Amino acid sequence: AQKITQTQPGMFVQEKEAVTLDCTYDTSDPSYGLFWYKQPSSGEMIFLIYQGSYDQQNATEGRYSLNFQKARKSANLVISASQLGDSAMYFCAMREGVYTGTASKLTFGTGTRLQVTL
Amino acid sequence: EPEVTQTPSHQVTQMGQEVILRCVPISNHLYFYWYRQILGQKVEFLVSFYNNEISEKSEIFDDQFSVERPDGSNFTLKIRSTKLEDSAMYFCASTLRGAVNQPQHFGDGTRLSIL
């Protein structure tokens, strides 16, 4: 089974509108972290936002927020007031394991390509 | 802001040749990783490294691959005898602690092209 599922291969949004990028995950580990990364066409991976499995509140970082629904195992990224520079590939990723001590890897989804239009 | 640096940005190599990809992680970070991304596909984990030894490796990381931290700053990935299917973007990442709540900071990647 896929650990991270991103069902939207591509999304379009108009400038200044909000957009939600979906991510569902599968784990039996009670301790995990969920991350979103942005990959522009230039190829680098940029960390955007993190949500921990024990966090009570949804994470926010500027125009990025995470709609975390633990029972549904979803961690959707919301980008508010989209800008042309937001056009990129967006990856959801998960780290599993205990909260300390392990060098646990990131497992990535297949990504969603977001295109912001005028 | 400190960042992970990778060299070269692009490497073109003949099939069967050895290649070494270099990374300088963020200076106070302790955990290091290599990932790869075949063009148009998702990012895949290769190996993690802590305290001068491999912590975990994927099935992709076979005997042709090795990692080393030869000094206090560099972290290298060596592919002994490259194959066409090794063509990919290779990312180095580092994090201060290995815990699940720590983001991994990625370098800009090395695009490896095998001819």
Contact: A103, B31; criterion CB under 8 Å = yes
Instruction: Quote the pLDDT of residue B90.
Output: 98
CB contact under 8 A, A100 and B99: yes
- Inter-chain CB proximity B106 and A37 less than 8 Å: yes
Q: Is the pLDDT of residue A58 over 70?
A: yes
> Residue B72: its pLDDT value, please?
76
B chain contacts of residue A37, beta-carbon cutoff 8 Å: 106
Per-residue CA distances from A59 to A20, A91, B35 (Å): 14, 16, 26
Say how far apart CA A70 and CA A63 lie, in whole Å. Answer: 22
pLDDT over 70 percentage in chain B: 100
Query: A38 CB near a chain B CB, below 8 Å?
Result: no
List of chain A residues whose C-beta atoms are within 8 Å of the C-beta of residue B55: 102-103
Mean per-residue pLDDT for A62-88? 97
Partner-chain residue, chosen from B45, B49, B108, that has the shortest CB–CB distance to A106: B45
pLDDT tens for each residue of B64-95? 999 999 887 899 999 999 999 999 999 999 99
Collect all residues from B whose CB is shorter than 8 A from any CB in A: 31, 33, 35, 41-45, 48-50, 55-56, 58, 89, 91, 93, 97-109, 111
For residues B83 and A12, give the distance between their C-alpha atoms in angstroms, rounded to a whole number: 37
Nearest Cα of chain A lies from the Cα of B3 at a distance, in angstroms, of 11
d(CA A77, CA A69): 12
Contacts of A97 in chain B (CB under 8 A): 99-100
Contact B109 A44 (CB under 8 A): yes
Q: Is the pLDDT of residue A2 over 80?
A: no
- Among the partner residues B42, B45, B98, nearest to A110 by beta-carbon distance: B42
HEC per residue, B17-54: CCEEEEEECCCCCCEEEEEEECCCCCEEEEEEEECCEE
Band (B97; pLDDT cuts 50, 70, 90): confident
What's the CA gap between B65 and B44, in Å, rounded? Answer: 15
- Shortest CA gap A33–chain B (Å): 5
